[in-house]
Structure formats: structure tokens, C-alpha cells
Structure 1
């Protein structure tokens, strides 16, 4: 069951679901809009002959920070990691799904490549996998509404919440991949 605005507001009021900062206007009929942060990680693909998921140092990123009142110009074909301004904390009985906003999709901006699922017990900012699939540059502004979260109830509390084993628990700012942690040391 996807939660409607009434239940989202109740969970926020009860402090079972935390989204901070949150303006009431961000709450939609069955989701909550989240805003783009100021910090980005851009793959340094000039020095990468290959990305190897087993290697911790396979990918290097350049950090970028956009000043208040400025914009980021996302060139066609570019992929980068961004973050939400909001920090969220999910209870052990709730799952969230990150979706791009239709208005941005209509400009060719994708907000997540595959990571649209947020596990119960997650706490932190959401890292966004942003790409421009159009053939013209698009301006992105910190604080603009960039994505939306919808929420689904679990049948019961999960046995092991994300915070127990999660690689990205407590993240602040965009974080690069930690897939290398999935491979046992050889």
C-alpha cells in the first residue's frame, strides 16, 4: 500500500518518519518532494581505463560545490552524483521509493539510474544518480525540487533494518559506490 498524504503527515507528526528540513508544500497527494543539494561528485573518467566493481580505487570523483544562487549546467551525456538537502529517517516498517519528477524527465533529466529503493531503517541524505539524456545542456539549481519519495508499509517490522548492515547509513552529501565491499577479500 502506497501511503497517502494524510498518513505521511501522521507519521511525520508522530516522529516515526523524519524528513528534515521539510516545508509543508513539499507534501504531495502520495509522495514528498525533495530538493537538490549543493554538492556533487563527478566521475573523473579521463583517468579511468576501466571501472572494476571489485576495486575500491577503480573510480575517482571530482567534487563540485554550487554556491547559493548559482546553477550547475549538466551537459548532454554527463552522469554525476548529487544529494538531497533533506535528511530522512525511515522506521523499520516503511520502505521509500525515489522517483524523478515528471517535469525534469520531460527535459531529459534522469534522477536515478537504478537506486530508487530506500530500505527500512535508513537514515541519511539520498544520493541521486543524475544524468542528462537530452542533446542540450540543462541548468540545475540547488534547492529546486528534484525528486519525490513515495512510501509503502511493510506487512510487519523488518528483522534486520538497513542500519545494521547498510554501507551508506548516515551518509551526508553524495557518496560514490561502495560495491567493492560486496566482494570478499581474496
Structure 2
């Protein structure tokens, strides 16, 4: 597989094979695209009982959805789900990886803890971010911040994602 550089990313976006909405060419770096944090967060409710991790597990049973206007206060050790402002569509021969940005990692913010793979052929999907404050100080997380980046790769062959999170809107 080969990582797409800025010129290839812009070529795909201009051709319409990759769609990012909203999009500004300034988001594209040498080999990545910055994505911005939206206003919705999914927070964990205080534990009342054991939650069984099985194939039927539904995160909505242990979380609540909230929306903020100014910022979300992420306490040390706290985990939340955020979501990108951008909706992303990839063709069947390109996949992607979500990565945190080093400027935030340096203050203990883990922007994407697990499940950072973006399947080829996703359609108009916002990307859910599994965020965690691994540092010792509370962090005010502001919507609109360029919080993470995606790295895109060409696939060998083609595939199209048709799972339950196709066209996801919320964390």
C-alpha cells in the first residue's frame, strides 16, 4: 500500500473520488488531512452494574449524548467519544487511518485510542474519536479545533464498507 501525498489527495478531491464535507484545501498537509472536532460528545454514565462485552454490546447503554457550545471539560483519566465535523466518502480502493496530532499528545490528550481504521468505500461518515485524557490536568476540549488527521492509503484490490456505522452522524 502507498500513502497519498498532498498532490494526490487534492487530485482525488478535485475528481470527486474522495469527498470531505466541509473542506478547505488548507486542511491538507504533506501526507494527511486535518479534521475538526464537532459539538457532540458521548460521555459514560456512572456505573450501576457490570457491562458485558459481547458481539451484541451497544455503547449507547452506558453512555449519554451531549452537545456543547463552548467546550467540554475532559478530566484526567476520563474517556469520551467525540466526532468530526467533516463527513468523509472514500472510494473502494482507498482506506484511511485516524491519528491524533502531536501538539495535543504532548499535553496528554489521546485523540483516538482504538479502532482508528477507515474502511474503503465509506460513505458520508463522520469519524468517531475515542478520546482520553492521559495527563494530570483537566483539558477544555473546544469544538472547531483541528483535533486529528487522517492518512490515506491505496488498497490492493477494492472493497466497500457496508457495516452498521455507514453514514454515522453522532459519536
Does residue 19 of structure 2 align to residue 18 of structure 1? Answer: yes
**Mind listing any 5+ residue stretches in structure 1 that lack a counterpart?**
175-186
What TM-score results when the alignment is normalised by the length of structure 2? 0.93
Cα displacement (A) at 1:140: 0.9
The total of aligned residue pairs comes to 167
The aligned counterpart of 1:109 is: 109
Does residue 132 of structure 2 align to residue 135 of structure 1? Answer: no
**Whole-Å separation in 2 of the counterparts to 1:143 and 1:107:** 18
- Of the three residues 166, 171, 177, the one matched with 2:168 is 171
Cα displacement (A) at 1:64: 1.4
What TM-score results when the alignment is normalised by the length of structure 1? 0.86
Does residue 42 of structure 2 align to residue 45 of structure 1? Answer: no
- Of the three residues 64, 67, 80, the one matched with 1:65 is 67
- Going from structure 1 to structure 2, the CA distance change for 1:57 and 1:10 (only over 3 Å counts) comes to closer
**Whole-Å separation in 2 of the counterparts to 1:28 and 1:76:** 30
Describe the SS at the equivalent of 1:45. coil
The aligned counterpart of 1:162 is: 161
Describe the SS at the equivalent of 1:87. strand
Describe the SS at the equivalent of 2:3. coil
**Whole-Å separation in 2 of the counterparts to 1:154 and 1:14:** 18
**Mind listing any 5+ residue stretches in structure 2 that lack a counterpart?**
none
